[in-house]
Structure 1
Amino acid sequence: MTQAVHPAATPRRIHEAFAPWTETCADKLALVDDLSSITYGALGGVVEAVAERLRDAGVRPGDRVLLVGENCVALAVCILAVSRLDAWSATVNARLSAREIDNFLSHSGARCALYFSSISPQAKAHGELRGAQAVDWPGIGGLLLGPLNAQAIPEPVEQAAADQVAAMVYTSGTTGAPKAVMLSHANLLFVGANSCRMRRIVPSDVIYGVLPLSHVYGLSSLLVAALIGGSALRLVARYQPEALAAALAEQGITVMHGAPAMYAKLLEWSENTGTPLHAPHLRVAQSGGAPLTLALKQAFEKTFGITLHNGYGMTEASPSICQTRLDDPRSDCSVGPAIPGIEIQLHGAEQSEEGVGELWVRGPNVMKGYYRAPELTAQTVTPEGWLRTGDLARREADGAITIAGRSKELIIRSGFNVYPVEVEQVLNAHPDVVQSAVVGREVEGNEEVVAFIEVSQTGSFTLDALRAHLKANLSPYKIPSEIVVLDHLPAAATGKVLKKELQQLAVQRPSAGRQHS
């Protein structure tokens, strides 16, 4: 394997990330989906042409441009073209509701919106609802261009990569007001370079890109990392286990990033259909975006014969904070040490008997702040630059970090702390449980533990057997008061389970200290 040759000069903008490969890897695929592909030699010209078309449409430096779609070559190109204009991209998933799209348009003060209609019927419907017109774009085909917002006011343009916003990532909006994380070019380039270096991305790699570009994991650790490494990024609009299985077997995938639920669904599909899984070229498998369970890690590694690596991050950290190392594979579900170049501390751990504290992080990965929300920014980032993650963690003897859960998700039952991730680990170790999510529910004078689970269709699942398994592996106060079986746990496009929805469902159900479902 040839180590990637990194440019002598560090790029200042994300659209400059691929510049070193335009001549040395001119004929090699840079971006590919089921409909189109672009080589490194052609990518610069296409980005320039699309940027020119956006400029002609009225987009100015400092403007926000809303990109409504799902993963495809055209979306990736437009993110880079918006960067080329020193405007800010705000990519949102087309599967969101009309109300949410309207909220994002209003909150961002977007100059215009692009709707990626060729890949997404939902994007087409959103565009048509808002009077968008079909336009043919050079190198990427037809898109819908929304009307120009004459009231849009450009933000100041900063020359330094650390000061100029590259993208806004919306982390909320399905409930309550939108919350937009401002990520600078330096933020995204730092994490992209880190992912490239730590996973040893080289031009011969083919990366499976199903994590949405509307999510920071897909934006920095896949798109920017792939371009820095000169590798091919295969963009996939929606996760389907059979499509992933085919790609691993037939399309030369060497690097896979996914949420734990994606890996769990892949293994379940294989078992349900009796289809063996093959990944002859896969050398890196990475889990992130949600807690990884030991049962899933072991099942994946037994199936594929390679380590399922783990990591931890959050949108406000672009997102990487901790990662396991390729040359130091772990047998547990630790997220590994902090990535190089940042600082972390466990705030309050010295007061905890278990050594658990809130994880704080400081470094080039920390966001500029929340757009139009200075008070919220001040609550989240200290004057000294520490990002308060809200996640509870402990440091292992070898320096690796284990995530105990969200501080807001901590359940206090009869005076004892219950970390949902620990209960989920035990639930998921049961052979008939595909995935689980644990939340707390307030009852008079106490909290109780409620578990939601998906079960395998091929097993002979019973609640009694699961309760016996829990009793054998958990302290009594950690055992759920109620276990609810669902066909599917509610999840975001990344595969991350939406615990807020489950919290609401738990509250709506009667207190189950007396009765299990």
Structure 2
Amino acid sequence: MTAAWPWLKQYPKGIPAEIDLDEFPSIVSILESSCGKFKDKVAFENLGKTLRYRDIDRLSKAFACYLIHQCKLKKGDRIALMLPNVLQYPIAIFGALRAGLTVVNTNPMYTARELKHQLNDSGATAIVVLENFASVLQEVLADTKVNHVLVTGVGDMLGGFKGTLVNFMLRYVKKAVPAYRLPQAVSFTQALADGARHSLPSVEIQPGDIAFLQYTGGTTGVSKGAMLTHRNLVANMQQASAWIGHRADMGAEHIITALPLYHIFALTANCLVFMKFGAVNHLITNPRDMPGFVKSLSKIPFTCITGVNTLFNGLLNTPGFDQLDFTRFKFALGGGMAVQRAVAERWKKVTGCTLSEAYGLTETSPAVCMNPLDLPEYNGSIGVPVPSTEVCIQDEEGQQLATGEVGELCVRGPQVMKGYWQRPDETAKVIDKQGWLHTGDMAKMDEEGFFYIVDRKKDMILVSGFNVYPNEIEDVVAAHPGVLEVAAVGVPDEKSGEAVKLVIVKKDPALDAAGIKEFCRSHLTGYKQPRHIEFRTELPKSNVGKILRRELRDSATATR
């Protein structure tokens, strides 16, 4: 069957059709291998402070010992991490995994309601939280099963005067740490010191053990925890490593990690995959500060970067980015949302490097498809399936569709989740009896095996019986020189059922609705043209910068 897959012809030389699933039994085994091979090399950098692989080995071991000996946590217990991109993150994540625990990644920007749901749904009994968000935890702690709280400050791992200064500035000058009271809390640094006094017992970790409960965003209902096993994550690490292996050099890469590590994209693509390559992970704590982000990039000999379309667009529109040194730059990988052609073409012009689009989901650990990294230019596709992965297009009845036909993209492979935590009914809705994961994304495959996302099923706009896909509209409007960002949504319409509405952030202050409509008339057929146009100063986005169309739809409907 493998030989019949049309996409294998697009694989760059040296990339295998299948990966070795048995090379590493767990994420921990890859960590220990890398810490042995690259012990003297820098593993992570943040705010000017570096940790070498031997430091990560030592500190994560100390944290694992604290969890086992002091907290008395057992294999399979859940621990929540409520941290942005700081050095504490890799220490905590690897320490928890070495202790045999299941990590529950938690968005630091959660409201009290959202945090309470995730802690209770996961059954977490321990949490590591940045002090900036401890007041939110205080609100809900009594209503959860959490009885071990570890609190840390941004500067805690920076050491010396710098660490003290950073914490002082955030607490007392910028007032970024709201008052909180958690009398039972232990400081993260104290936990490391206490753990270092113990030896790490042998913890047998099986491939089928759950490494992460990775919660979906909850944008389509109650947030659910995808059970990602060690086998799932190891498989995806092997798949991604095979794909980038011909472009990445062992022990020589510098990866920019601006997307949050608590999100599956950066967790796997940056933290885990590049750990295997012995790379330096440069953690960007606040990428929304674009001038500060560009200033950081000017000091880093970066070779790779991952991001979403809004991140790349933001960098391109930040003064100084086009003056950076791109001589070492090897590749940029875009995912999380559709990469717009206008952004990709400008990215290539400024950096000299093709912006390669990839596709994945929380439920697939996440990589499903990737474009070859040696593409001469952006091609508008999400690429081809990574090794050991089957992808097909199905209709509403579950029948596989022919080349070129639009249907639901379905995935089968070792990276597909075990299921949703304690939700067998929800699991059965997305994973069928043949093992196909139904993604909810509308897509098509061309004759060469490249896949193209048309749009989300739930985002599709139905105008007088015609399907209108927001991605297409946004791609067109984003090419207008006066547009900074754009989102297209459907709103109720008496004549056509639904009509297209655009919500735009201006680049040119003189831009008006008439100019946009005239531009669209030149590039879109009648039923795809916008009937309504709204200008805003910003668009609602998720924690990784993905535009939240549902919020725009809801607000448009509420005002009608």
- TM-score grouping bracket, smaller chain normalisation: 0.7 to 0.9
TM alignment of 1:119-268, pairs within 5 A: 121=132, 123-129=133-139, 130=141, 160-161=206-207, 163-173=208-218, 176-200=221-245, 201=248, 202-239=250-287, 240-268=289-317
The alignment status of 1:44 with 2:95, answered yes or no, reads no
TM-score after normalising by structure 1: 0.88
Structure of higher RCO (CA pairs closer than 8 Å, 6+ residues apart): 2
C-alpha spacing 1:345/1:242, structure 2 compared with 1 (3 Å) = same
C-alpha separation between the residues in 1 aligned to 2:552 and 2:21?
49
C-alpha separation between the residues in 2 aligned to 1:204 and 1:400?
31
C-alpha separation between the residues in 2 aligned to 1:354 and 1:485?
36
Mapped contact 1:335–1:402 kept (Cα < 8 A): yes
Equivalent residue letter for 1:46: L
Gaps of 5+ in 1: 149-156, 511-517
In structure 1, the partner of 2:523 is: 473
Shift of 1:139: 7.4
Shift of 1:296: 0.6
C-alpha separation between the residues in 1 aligned to 2:419 and 2:20?
29
Number of residue-to-residue matches in the alignment: 490
In structure 2, the partner of 1:370 is: 420
C-alpha separation between the residues in 2 aligned to 1:424 and 1:76?
36
In structure 2, the partner of 1:416 is: 466
Equivalent residue letter for 1:160: Q
C-alpha separation between the residues in 1 aligned to 2:261 and 2:157?
19
Equivalent residue letter for 1:424: E
Equivalent residue letter for 2:97: S
C-alpha spacing 1:174/1:477, structure 2 compared with 1 (3 Å) = closer
C-alpha separation between the residues in 2 aligned to 1:247 and 1:21?
26
In structure 2, the partner of 1:323 is: 370
C-alpha separation between the residues in 2 aligned to 1:140 and 1:321?
36
Equivalent residue letter for 2:235: F
C-alpha separation between the residues in 2 aligned to 1:318 and 1:262?
21
C-alpha separation between the residues in 2 aligned to 1:223 and 1:391?
27
The alignment status of 1:296 with 2:309, answered yes or no, reads no
The alignment status of 1:499 with 2:513, answered yes or no, reads no
C-alpha separation between the residues in 2 aligned to 1:91 and 1:471?
45
Shift of 1:493: 1.8
The alignment status of 1:14 with 2:27, answered yes or no, reads yes
Mapped contact 1:248–1:282 kept (Cα < 8 A): no
Task: Kindly provide the CA deviation profile for residues 323-356 of structure 1, in whole angstroms up to 9, marking residues without a partner as x.
Answer: 1002334432111111111001000287699611
C-alpha separation between the residues in 2 aligned to 1:67 and 1:506?
35
Shift of 1:126: 3.0
For residue 102 of structure 1, the aligned residue among 112, 116, 128 is 116
For residue 47 of structure 2, the aligned residue among 31, 34, 41 is 34
C-alpha spacing 1:81/1:473, structure 2 compared with 1 (3 Å) = same
Task: Kindly provide the CA deviation profile for residues 5-59 of structure 1, in whole angstroms up to 9, marking residues without a partner as x.
Answer: x999722222322323334322111122116432112222211110011112132
Equivalent residue letter for 1:315: T
C-alpha spacing 1:27/1:353, structure 2 compared with 1 (3 Å) = closer
Equivalent residue letter for 1:19: E
Task: Kindly provide the CA deviation profile for residues 343-402 of structure 1, in whole angstroms up to 9, marking residues without a partner as x.
Answer: 010002876996111100000110111111100000000111100001011112321111
Task: Kindly provide the CA deviation profile for residues 186-214 of structure 1, in whole angstroms up to 9, marking residues without a partner as x.
Answer: 11122223223322333110111111121
SS at match of 1:172: coil
C-alpha spacing 1:459/1:297, structure 2 compared with 1 (3 Å) = farther
Mapped contact 1:75–1:116 kept (Cα < 8 A): no
SS at match of 2:356: strand
Mapped contact 2:115–2:137 kept (Cα < 8 A): no
Mapped contact 2:210–2:229 kept (Cα < 8 A): yes
The alignment status of 1:452 with 2:465, answered yes or no, reads no
The alignment status of 1:62 with 2:110, answered yes or no, reads no
Mapped contact 1:442–1:448 kept (Cα < 8 A): yes
TM alignment of 1:345-364, pairs within 5 A: 345-348=392-395, 355-364=405-414
C-alpha separation between the residues in 2 aligned to 1:429 and 1:356?
25
C-alpha separation between the residues in 2 aligned to 1:449 and 1:435?
16
TM alignment of 1:381-420, pairs within 5 A: 381-420=431-470
C-alpha spacing 1:139/1:293, structure 2 compared with 1 (3 Å) = closer
For the aligned residues, what is the CA RMSD? Answer: 2.9
SS at match of 2:106: strand
Larger deviation: 259-268 or 184-193? 184-193
C-alpha separation between the residues in 1 aligned to 2:321 and 2:334?
24
For residue 80 of structure 1, the aligned residue among 76, 82, 94 is 94
C-alpha separation between the residues in 1 aligned to 2:400 and 2:273?
37
C-alpha separation between the residues in 1 aligned to 2:118 and 2:216?
11
Mapped contact 1:134–1:145 kept (Cα < 8 A): no
C-alpha separation between the residues in 1 aligned to 2:373 and 2:223?
37
Equivalent residue letter for 2:206: A
Shift of 1:462: 2.2
C-alpha separation between the residues in 2 aligned to 1:146 and 1:478?
58
C-alpha spacing 1:328/1:70, structure 2 compared with 1 (3 Å) = same
Equivalent residue letter for 2:422: R
Gaps of 5+ in 2: 1-13, 143-147, 168-181, 187-202
The alignment status of 1:71 with 2:120, answered yes or no, reads no
Task: Kindly provide the CA deviation profile for residues 430-462 of structure 1, in whole angstroms up to 9, marking residues without a partner as x.
Answer: 111122111112334611111112111x55322
SS at match of 2:104: strand
SS at match of 2:458: coil
Quote the sequence identity (%): 29
Mapped contact 1:114–1:146 kept (Cα < 8 A): no
TM-score after normalising by structure 2: 0.81
Equivalent residue letter for 2:451: I
SS at match of 2:384: coil
In structure 1, the partner of 2:177 is: none
Shift of 1:104: 1.1
C-alpha separation between the residues in 2 aligned to 1:335 and 1:289?
11
Equivalent residue letter for 1:54: L
Mapped contact 1:206–1:254 kept (Cα < 8 A): yes
SS at match of 1:49: helix
C-alpha spacing 1:184/1:93, structure 2 compared with 1 (3 Å) = same
C-alpha spacing 1:305/1:353, structure 2 compared with 1 (3 Å) = closer
